[in-house]
Amino acid sequence: MEHPVSDTLPPVGGSIQPAVRVLDARLASLIDPGAPLVRLADGCIWSEGPVWLPHEQALQWSDIPNDRAMRWKDGAGAEVERHPNDFTNGNTLDREGRVIHCEHGNRRVARTELDGTRIPLVERHGDGRLNSPNDVVVAHDGAIWFTDPPYGILFPEEGHPAPMEQAGCFVYRLDPETGEIAAVAENVRHPNGLAFSPDESILYVADTYWAVDKTADRPIYAFDVVDGHRLANQRVFAQIDPGPADGFRVDIHGNLWTSAHDGIHVLAPDGHELGRILVPEITSNCVFGGPDGRRLFITASSSLYAIEVLVTGAGVAAAVARGEFIA
Ligand code: MG
């Protein structure tokens, strides 16, 4: 994977303004075009997997090649939270506010209990080990949906190189109560970021096959979610340029805030691009957080950034962060 870092970045605490490019007037209800993009932390190699921890009012994220979890808190700045970190990538919250992790190193999905113990949830599908779970989202019924591309067994800086034991790279649905796991999408070459629409009728999945084939397209797919268990009607939702998209989040109105190589692209539910938050490093993901859920934290290469927005996130993790979701 490429991890270029610009040498013209603002210092930690510094900001970039303007950072917002307006492409459609509808963006005005989502973000102030004059909002500054603030650089909150530096010193990472590849930042990804942001999750807002409401009970601690802190942002946790992964610095995968340094094999550490980072934490940022207003007033305290950034610090190392966990090292080694099992080459953890994506993180999210479940309905109880526990953090769900995708571990490249152990090729599994794990959960940190409220007492701080970390337990495995799933390591295998059928007869083989998973590839290297990358990103994860929890549905309102408690099911854990995650993607399983090969980067943790392909790139030594992201895990432990090893043969693939699955027939491909799939999207999975895990029932954490029964341990039942099902492959729900088998026709995305390298499934990566994923998120539901607000009513969970649609699942969006990024394909980052471009990481191994620079002639590949860079789609985000949309699927219809059937009975909360299956996917149907795979179609291209958007092609991300410059891209590919890695992780993304959906806001309460159904707009998709996706990472891209030049920052965050804001896409309306019809796929039309409303605007961009231009970030001076290759961007991997974002998450709605902060005291009122209206601060967008952005992981990008060496850094963590944030920008104030006018909307909050959809889904279980964002609802838990707002204190709205009672399991
Ligand atoms: Mg990812």
DSSP structure string for 79-113: EEEESS-TTEEEEEE-TTSPEEEEETTTTEEEEE-
Among residues 248, 257, 251, 289, the alpha carbon closest in space to that of 53 is found at: 289
Q: For residue 206, what pLDDT is reported?
A: 98
CB-CB contact of 311 with 252 (8 Å): yes
Q: For residue 3, what pLDDT is reported?
A: 52
Q: For residue 5, what pLDDT is reported?
A: 56
Compute, in angstroms, the gap from residue 149 CA to the centroid of ligand 1. 9
Which of left, alpha, beta for 64 (phi over 0: left; psi -120 to 50: alpha)?
Answer: alpha
CB-CB contact of 260 with 12 (8 Å): no
pTM over 0.95: yes
What does the alpha-carbon distance between residue 79 and residue 273 come to, in Å, rounded to a whole number? Answer: 35
Compute, in angstroms, the gap from residue 116 CA to the centroid of ligand 1. 24
Compute, in angstroms, the gap from residue 321 CA to the centroid of ligand 1. 21
Compute, in angstroms, the gap from residue 309 CA to the centroid of ligand 1. 23
Compute, in angstroms, the gap from residue 199 CA to the centroid of ligand 1. 23
What does the alpha-carbon distance between residue 4 and residue 300 come to, in Å, rounded to a whole number? Answer: 10
Q: Mind listing the pLDDT tens digit for each residue in 66-83?
A: 999 999 999 999 999 999
Compute, in angstroms, the gap from residue 70 CA to the centroid of ligand 1. 16
Q: For residue 49, what pLDDT is reported?
A: 98
Structure tokens at 154: 């392909």
Compute, in angstroms, the gap from residue 205 CA to the centroid of ligand 1. 10
Structure tokens at 195: 């998120």
Strand order of the β-sheet with 283-289 is 15-16, 37-41, 303-308, 295-300, 283-289
Compute, in angstroms, the gap from residue 117 CA to the centroid of ligand 1. 24
Segments of the chain with pLDDT less than 50:
none
Compute, in angstroms, the gap from residue 214 CA to the centroid of ligand 1. 17
Compute, in angstroms, the gap from residue 57 CA to the centroid of ligand 1. 24
Compute, in angstroms, the gap from residue 74 CA to the centroid of ligand 1. 25
Q: Mind listing the pLDDT tens digit for each residue in 123-170?
A: 999 999 999 999 999 999 999 999 999 999 999 999 999 999 999 999
Compute, in angstroms, the gap from residue 313 CA to the centroid of ligand 1. 18
Q: For residue 324, what pLDDT is reported?
A: 83
Q: For residue 289, what pLDDT is reported?
A: 96
Compute, in angstroms, the gap from residue 218 CA to the centroid of ligand 1. 14
Structure tokens at 175: 């029932």
Task: Give SS3 for 323.
Answer: coil
Q: For residue 325, what pLDDT is reported?
A: 72
Q: For residue 155, what pLDDT is reported?
A: 97
Compute, in angstroms, the gap from residue 105 CA to the centroid of ligand 1. 15
Compute, in angstroms, the gap from residue 206 CA to the centroid of ligand 1. 9
What does the alpha-carbon distance between residue 257 and residue 91 come to, in Å, rounded to a whole number? Answer: 17
Compute, in angstroms, the gap from residue 284 CA to the centroid of ligand 1. 7
Which residues 6+ apart lie within 8 Å of 170 measured at CB? 125, 147, 148, 183, 184, 185, 186, 188, 191
Which residues 6+ apart lie within 8 Å of 84 measured at CB? 67, 68, 105
The DSSP secondary-structure symbol of 197 reads -
Q: For residue 237, what pLDDT is reported?
A: 98
Residue with tokens 């005005």: 28
